[in-house]
Amino acid sequence: MADSVGMADIRGLNIEKALTGFALTSYVFKDRLCTIQSSSKWQERYYEETAADLSNSNSPVEGVPRLAVFPHGEVTWTQRNSYHKKFGMEARISHEDIISNDIDVIARSLLRIGRAIAKSVDAEIWDVITEGRSVSNINSVTISAGDEWDSATIANRDPIQDLLNAKKEIAEENYNPEGAYLCLNPKDYANLLGNANIRNAGQFYSDSVTRRGNVGTIVGLNILVNNNVTAGYAAVVIGKEAATWKQLNALTVRTIEDAGIGKTIRAWEIGVCQLKNPKAVCLIINTAV
């Protein structure tokens, strides 16, 4: 039966809501790790504050003599610039597939487009918060060769100490790592939970949180499992403090109707991730990578 304009508009609205819903449930890093702020400029300028405590090598803070000039302390910042990126995808579905296929091609296309955009955004965020694994500004802990979480020598595996070391690195920079996120890929998550020390000691691990990529807690860290995490790496990140997602164009969906030929379902968003507090991140590096 031919569709009227009104019917097409109603379906378009449903498609928009459905795709947006699929995408929003697929974001892991964007929702958990980033503070989201709107933007109206293509270039984003921000200032990264030096994490070190204020001090004065010529005059100590403690023990200022009577009537003496106070020691001078000066906060410093490093200017950073970033540019927005567009993330988008579309699917063109024929009229025949829409009206006759056994598979609901529209529903499946919406799901896969939503996932594709969310995966691409989360991959960008992972790359930014880990500085492309270059660790030029963020903290890092390197696991010695032979001590990896899947080491052939079982007795050498000590992921709990590696996580505690990562928390220590962040705490020494005057950030509170309690309740931070531990980002893992599925392989390292399996190695972590398969470790005998964790299996046999309930105080280290809890699976009470099981939503939106968050699959439990360990030594005070919320575990996020995501395929965007580079194999052989993990990261402890203080959510909402380490990074900001500047959003120029929120996720937008449009349905383009070509009567008798098909539909084009197009989705996109524009934004950029900024690592504003790099010392609120610690990358755990497996030397065997």
Right CATH for 5-50+81-130+243-276 from 3.40.50.720, 3.30.200.20, 3.30.70.3040, 3.30.2400.20: 3.30.2400.20
Contacts 24+ apart (CB under 8 A), 212-216: 212/25, 212/27, 212/28, 212/31, 212/32, 213/28, 213/32, 214/32, 214/181, 215/189
The reported pLDDT for the residue numbered 80 is: 85
Closest listed residue to residue 191, CA positions, set 157, 241, 141 = 157
pLDDT range class, residue 90, cuts 50, 70, 90 = very high
pLDDT of 169 above 50: yes
Average pLDDT over residues 14-36: 86
> Residue 289: which pLDDT band, with cuts at 50, 70 and 90?
low
Q: Quick check: 48 pLDDT over 50?
A: yes
Token pair, residue 81, equals 């610039």
Q: What is the mean pLDDT of residues 272-276?
A: 94
Q: What are the residue ranges of CATH 3.30.2320.10 in the chain?
A: 138-242+279-286
Mean pLDDT of 259-274: 94
**pLDDT tens for each residue of 182-202:** 999 999 999 998 888 877 766
Question: How many other C-beta atoms can be found within 10 angstroms of the C-beta atom of residue 172?
Answer: 11
What would the mean pLDDT of 119-128 be, rounded to a whole number? 96
138-242+279-286, which class in CATH? alpha beta
Is residue 271 within 8 Å of 169, Cβ to Cβ?
A: no
Q: Is the pLDDT of residue 1 over 50?
A: no
Residue of higher predicted confidence among 76 and 66: 66
Q: Where does CATH 3.30.2400.20 sit in the chain?
A: 5-50+81-130+243-276
